[in-house]
Structures are given as structure tokens and as C-alpha cells.
């Protein structure tokens, strides 16, 4: 037996454990776990370690004791499925740790409602922020949630309702593995009002839309699909320019993106679609623009967009370091925005600047050049087909320069 054995356990306690797991517990001299797990073994006479808020300190203690003791750690279900197993393995080393999993609560939940789960998206909101999960919903028809007291099934339902995500059937599975386990079915509206749900629960959502289509991988949305300023044509990047600019940003699923001078927020929304496990910071100084961005974030259900009201570069100084920076507006501070953004950009990150006026084109080019940045410059001239009686003519859009550059992984010395 290895120095540390991590045993998965359900709410049924010892009854559900295998003989191998029971043997590992019997042979250990140190037993660690949550209070409710330790309570299943009142007869244990060795040292007990309660896993509570300060998990890191407890794991440090386990690492210290396992030098001269056999340690058994009790964990819910499968310790390597959103559990403590990863932290223990990293701290102590895979060669010194053995895992004996039990069925996870998620596995039990899907079994309880009799629905296969190999195609389900699993999201943990246990001890995590809720922001960002609505954006993930549009890519899936079946979701399993780990919840906690703050992110309860009712709180999740209320958050979904805010973004108009109500066409789901919800199953709340409670006290799984115990004699009192239950599974109840709700609409999203019903779940918003539910107040008698056990703290030990798993939430499963099944989409109630047979004709729902998963969105395109790369968005190509017309300007008319966004709220924007009227009667002006609106501060919005045209879809052809948007696609090329987003491609130049090289956005990854977990990217941190800055959209500076966000205007109506169309680039923010589509960047958030691509960075579904990341975050997008939409920076805009105009109060009317802020309202429009927030409207577009709600209507396009991109809750991983954080709207920042302020003037760049001051407004970006304390934001998380970006992997991608898009500059669509500057209010006369283009050089300072480029310099600050490039300085804060993560190594290997991309910066893209759109410039329409000759003044901004000149300023962008000279700023990149003065910083010694190897820049790529594209001039886009787009014309769209427009009907004229029974004929088709072309209508030209404003030419636009797209500057892009990559920050080296290692700065030259």
C-alpha cells in the first residue's frame, strides 16, 4: 500500500465501501476527511485531520505525516473528479498516492433520473464564481452542476432567468447515496422559487428545445443583430472587419481579452463566444455606450463579459493581464493605450488595432515602430452587394487598417 490512499466515499458511509477501501482505512494510522466523513469511523484511534476551509494547510500536514505514517484520506465520490485528489497528487507525488474511487455524486445523479451522461457538460460552481456559465449553455443540451450554499439550484435558476435561459428541464438530486435520496423535476421558473432543497445536491439541466441549433464556431453576425446608437449607424465594427480582427487576436477558449473602446460591444460579445472558459473586459468611456454594451451582453447571453466604465489607459491599469487586446477606439490616447496594453500583455499574446482615420493610422504605425514591435498591417476595402431595382450594385464601406502584433515569449536583451 502506498503512503497515502485516497478513498472515495458516499453518503451511505461504510456500507458502500469495498473490502479494499475498508482495508486501507483499517491499516492507516492517520485519517483525514470532512467532518461528516470522519463521523462514519468513530472507532478510529489514530490522528484525525479535518478538511475544512484551509485545505492547503491540511494537505501540508498530510505530506508531513506520510513520511512515517500510512495516511488515508476520505473524499466524496471520485476524488479525481472535481475533488481533492488533484491537490494531493500534486503535493505528494503520483508515485506515493493511490486512489480508490466510489461513484461520483454526478454519476449517481444521472443514474437516479435514468439519463445517459457521456455527452453531458459538467460545470462546478462549488466555491467558484457563477459568472460565465450561461455563455457555455448555448453549446450544450445537457449540463450537470456541482453546487454550494451560495450557488444553489435556486440561485442558478434566477441567474439563468436574468439572461432569458428558461427552456430547460431541471432535475435536483438530493442526499445521493443515503437512505433519503430524492430526485425532483422543475421548470426554471419553479426552481427559482424552491426553498426546501438540501445542501447536498446535484443539479442537472436538459434542454427543452428539440430544434435548438448550437451556434457557429466563428460568429458572423450582422450589425442589425446588435443594439447600437440610433439615428447614427452606430459605433459598431462591421462584421467582415470583426471576423478578421477576431482571427488576428488568436483567441483561445481560456483567453483573457481586453476590448478597448468597445463601442456597442460587438467585438466583446464575439470574443466571449470564442473565449468561453475565459473573460472579456469591455472598456468604454461613454455612458450611453455602457448601457448598449450591457444590453448586448444580456441579449447574446455572454455573461463572461465584464463591462468597465472608464477612459483608457487609466481604466485598464488594474485589469488582469490579457492574452489578447483589441483596440477599436482611443479618444485621442492611442499611443498610450498601445504602449500600456503591450506592456501588460502576456508573453505570446496578441494586440490588434483598428484604425480608420489617417491620423490614427499614422499614430498606430509610429507607436508600434517606436516600441520595436514587429507589426503586420492590412488595409481592408470592403464593398457589399446592394439591390438597385432589378440590379445589384456595390456599396463601399469605409476602408480600415488592421494592425496586429505578437508579444515575444522572451523579450530581446
Please list, in sequence order, all residues whose beta carbon lies within 8 angstroms of the beta carbon of residue 52, skipping any fewer than 6 positions away: 34, 35, 58
Give the pLDDT score at 234.
58
Using pLDDT thresholds of 50, 70 and 90, give the confidence band for residue 62: very high
Does residue 248 sit in the same domain as residue 397? yes
Q: What is the CATH number of the domain that holds 15?
A: 3.40.1010.10
C-alpha cell recorded at residue 113: 433520473
Q: Where are the beta strands (DSSP E) in 26-80?
A: 30-33, 47-50, 71-76
Please check whether residue 97 is in contact with residue 103, taking contact to mean a CB–CB distance below 8 angstroms.
no
Residues 122 and 157 in one domain: yes
What's the number of domains the chain is made of? 3
Question: Both 110 and 66 in a single domain?
Answer: no
Q: 86 and 18, same structural domain?
A: yes
Residue 116 lies in a domain: yes
Give pTM, 2 decimals. 0.91
CATH, residue 181: 3.30.950.10
State pLDDT tens for residues 113-166. 999 999 999 999 999 999 999 999 999 999 999 999 999 999 999 999 999 999
- Gap between the Cα atoms of 338 and 405, Å rounded: 11
| Same-domain check for residues 134 and 265 | no
Within a domain: 229: no
Range of the domain at 399: 239-407
Same domain, 267 and 370: yes
Contact 204, 109 (CB under 8 A): yes
Strand-pairing partners, residue 353, are 327, 403
Q: SS in 3 state form for 227-281?
A: CCCCCCCCCCCCHHHHHHHHHHHCCCCCCEEEEECCCCCHHHHHHHHHCCCCEEE
pLDDT one-digit tens code per residue, 362-393? 999 999 999 999 999 999 999 999 999 999 99
pLDDT at 45: 92
What does DSSP say about strands 30-33 and 121-124: parallel, antiparallel, or unpaired?
A: unpaired
Task: Confirm if 305 and 282 have CB atoms less than 8 A apart.
Answer: yes
Burial grade of 366 (CB within 10 A; 0-12, 13-18, 19 or more)? exposed
Same domain membership, residue 112 and residue 95 = no
Give CA–CA dist 42/36, Å, rounded: 11
Amino acid at each position: 500500500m502506498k503512503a497515502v490512499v485516497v478513498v472515495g466515499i458516499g453518503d451511505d458511509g461504510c456500507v458502500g465501501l469495498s473490502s479494499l477501501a475498508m482495508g486501507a482505512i483499517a491499516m492507516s494510522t492517520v485519517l483525514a476527511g470532512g467532518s461528516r466523513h470522519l463521523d462514519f469511523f468513530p472507532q478510529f484511534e489514530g490522528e484525525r485531520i479535518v478538511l475544512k476551509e484551509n485545505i492547503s494547510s491540511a494537505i501540508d500536514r498530510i505530506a508531513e505525516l506520510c513520511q512515517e505514517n500510512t495516511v488515508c484520506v476520505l473524499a466524496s465520490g471520485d476524488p479525481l473528479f472535481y475533488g481533492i485528489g488533484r491537490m494531493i497528487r500534486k503535493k505528494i507525488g503520483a508515485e506515493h498516492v493511490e486512489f480508490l474511487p466510489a461513484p461520483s455524486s454526478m454519476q449517481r445523479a444521472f443514474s437516479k433520473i435514468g439519463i445517459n451522461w457521456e455527452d453531458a457538460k459538467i460545470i462546478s460552481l462549488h466555491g467558484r464564481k457563477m459568472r460565465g456559465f450561461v455563455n457555455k449553455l448555448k453549446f450544450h443540451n445537457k449540463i450537470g452542476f456541482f453546487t454550494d450554499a451560495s450557488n444553489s439550484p435556486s440561485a442558478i435558476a434566477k441567474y439563468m432567468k436574468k439572461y432569458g435561459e428558461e427552456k430547460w428541464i431541471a432535475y435536483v438530486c438530493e442526499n445521493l447515496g443515503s437512505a433519503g435520496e430524492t430526485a425532483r423535476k422543475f421548470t426554471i421558473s419553479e426552481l427559482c422559487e424552491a426553498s426546501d432543497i438540501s445542501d447536498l445536491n446535484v443539479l442537472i439541466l436538459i434542454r427543452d428545445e428539440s430544434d435548438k441549433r448550437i451556434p457557429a464556431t466563428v460568429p458572423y453576425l450582422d450589425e442589425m443583430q446588435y443594439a447600437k446608437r440610433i439615428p447614427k449607424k452606430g459605433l459598431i465594427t462591421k462584421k467582415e472587419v470583426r471576423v478578421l480582427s477576431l482571427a488576428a487576436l488568436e483567441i483561445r477558449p481560456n483567453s483573457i481579452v481586453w476590448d478597448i473602446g468597445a463601442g456597442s460591444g460587438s467585438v466583446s460579445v464575439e470574443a466571449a463566444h470564442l473565449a468561453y472558459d475565459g473573460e472579456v473586459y469591455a472598456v468604454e468611456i461613454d455612458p450611453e455606450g455602457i448601457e448598449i454594451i450591457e444590453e448586448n451582453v444580456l441579449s447574446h447571453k455572454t455573461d463572461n463579459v465584464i463591462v468597465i466604465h472608464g477612459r483608457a489607459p487609466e481604466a485598464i491599469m488594474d485589469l488582469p493581464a490579457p492574452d489578447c487586446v483589441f483596440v477599436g477606439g482611443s479618444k485621442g490616447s492611442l499611443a498610450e493605450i498601445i504602449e500600456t496594453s503591450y506592456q501588460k500583455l502576456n508573453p505570446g499574446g496578441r494586440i490588434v488595432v483598428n484604425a480608420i482615420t489617417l491620423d490614427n493610422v499614422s499614430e498606430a504605425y509610429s507607436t508600434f515602430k517606436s516600441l520595436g514591435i514587429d507589426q503586420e498591417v492590412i488595409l481592408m476595402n470592403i464593398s457589399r452587394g446592394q439591390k438597385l431595382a432589378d440590379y445589384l450594385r456595390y456599396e463601399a464601406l469605409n476602408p480600415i487598417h488592421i494592425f496586429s502584433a505578437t508579444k515575444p515569449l522572451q523579450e530581446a536583451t
